[in-house]
Amino acid sequence: MSALAKASGALKSVDYEVFGRVQVSHYFPNQYTEQEARKLGVVGWVKNTSQGTVTGQVQGPEEKVNEMKSWLSKVGSPSSRIDKTNFSNEKEISKLDFSDFNTRY
Give DSSP secondary structure letters for 20-45: EE--SSSSHHHHHHHHHHHHHT-EEE
Total count of domains within the chain = 1
Predicted structure pTM score: 0.84
Query: pLDDT of 4-62, one tens digit each?
Result: 444 457 999 999 999 987 655 444 457 888 999 999 999 999 998 888 889 999 999 99
Residue 73 CB-density burial (10 A; 0-12 exposed, 13-18 middle, 19+ buried): middle
Domain that holds residue 52: 20-92
Those residues whose C-beta lies under 8 Å from the C-beta of residue 98, and which sit 6 or more positions away, are 43, 44, 45, 59
Give me the CATH number covering residue 81: 3.30.70.100
Assess if residue 103 is contained within a domain.
Answer: no
Assess if residue 7 is contained within a domain.
Answer: no
